[in-house]
Amino acid sequence: MTKQNVVPVEAVAAIAVAAVAGSSPLFPYPPPRAYGRRKYLSQLELGGGRIGAWVESMKASSPTHAKATAAPPSGDAAVDEQSAWVVRHPSALNKFEQIMSASKGKQIVMFMDYDGTLSPIVDDPDSAFMSDAMREAVRDVARYFPTAIVSGRCLDKVINFVRLADLYYAGSHGMDIKGPTRPRHAKARAKPVLFQPASEFLPMIDAVYKALFERTKSTPGARVENNKFCVSVHFRCVDEKSWSSLFEQVRSVLKAYPKLRLTQGRKVLEIRPTIKWDKGKALEFLLESLGFADCKNIMPVYIGDDRTDEDAFKVLRDRGQGFGILVSKFPKETNATYSLQEPSEASAHGPLLGALSYLQCDITRVKDFLVRLVEWKRLSRKACSKVQVA
């Protein structure tokens, strides 16, 4: 498929910059804070020779790592760290009334990641199904607010998982964007949405996928997934002792492709084009496509759990408009304003079951937030109707 840009990437960026000029934050944004070894390597380090540091980074980006799944550490220091983090990133459910108060008179626009946000993280990427209750919650949200799913999965896969027609979808970390045929919420000046800024990389991505598929066969548990505009190498089922060799296999293939870059997520290595495009750019593009780029009376909300979602959180922070919600069970560096978590439930189940309850509980909190948002909107409409009748 040829490029089908609604507007050039450079134009989208320029529009976003113009939109934030003179704006002031709706929420206090404290500077992000690093937590010990829970930090990620930069792209330069990923391409370098620090294998040991890379493996440590793989652990840091994998909150369900064996050492991390044990009950939260005891002691005053651990409690203080957790408490301080929650103060900086309070629960979006606990602060719901404050959030809705700040949204008064503004158009809420919803953005959500898929894996780990709308569906649980599972060993088999093809089995990451969302529950019927979650699908109903997302469907209801889309009835009242412009709603987009922004995922690292390829566009077709995430659409097949969600199976809702009225949504905007951004696959491959925003490099493959498609809108509904008949948008419900877009403004009159909105443009048709079909956007693939990295289409020229398709043959290269396909070649890398085939090479990695063959190269990683010797690593038990490794799984290579072709997400059209990026390649994902899952190591969730790989023995930790083999992580170094798996990284070497990936890096050896990428040496022949300088136009591709290596990034990381939750127990996954991802190979993407070097273009300046990510989930944050996708968010800006979708706001422009919806006709909201120059609007001051909008409140974009982005919910995500992955390192790649930080690009979108940062865009909202820099715009001073809207906010990010991090789905996480552990304190970690983030540009999000709020969080959705339930740390108190893990210790009651032991290390393994505690970790599983953490994952499911995070997902449940996302659903609870969406259900509450819809109920708030319905009540607001009823109140307005009564005022008009009176």
**Which pLDDT does position 326 carry in this prediction?**
97
**Which pLDDT does position 163 carry in this prediction?**
96
Report CA Rg, the chain.
Answer: 21
Considering 76, 80, 113, 311, which one is annotated as catalytic? Answer: 113
User: Rounded to whole angstroms, how far apart are CA atoms 343 and 355?
Assistant: 10
Q: Is 379 exposed, middle or buried (0-12, 13-18, 19+ CB in 10 A)?
A: exposed
The size of the chain, in residues, is 390
Residue type, 315: V
- The reported pTM is 0.79
**What DSSP letter does each residue of 8-29 carry, written as one string?**
-HHHHHHHHHHHHTT---SS--
Query: Which residue, among 362, 308, 297, has the nearest Cα to 109 in the 3D structure?
Result: 297
**Which pLDDT does position 27 carry in this prediction?**
36
- Residues 103-107: contacts with CB under 8 Å, at least 24 apart: 103/299, 105/297, 106/297, 106/298, 106/299, 107/145, 107/146, 107/292, 107/295, 107/297, 107/298, 107/299
**Which pLDDT does position 294 carry in this prediction?**
85
Phi, psi of 194 (to 5 degrees): -160, 105
- Per-residue pLDDT of the chain (390 residues), as tens digits, is 434 444 333 443 343 333 333 333 333 333 334 343 333 444 434 444 566 666 777 777 665 444 444 445 556 676 788 889 999 999 999 999 999 999 999 999 999 999 999 999 888 999 999 999 999 999 999 999 999 999 999 999 999 999 999 999 999 999 999 999 878 876 645 566 789 999 999 999 999 999 999 999 999 999 999 999 999 999 999 999 999 999 999 999 999 999 999 988 888 999 999 999 999 999 999 999 998 988 989 999 999 999 999 999 999 999 999 999 999 988 889 999 999 974 333 333 344 444 444 455 567 899 999 999 999 999 988 877 665 555
113 is catalytic: yes
* Contact of 243 with 55, CB cutoff 8 Å: yes
| DSSP 8-state class, residue 271 | E
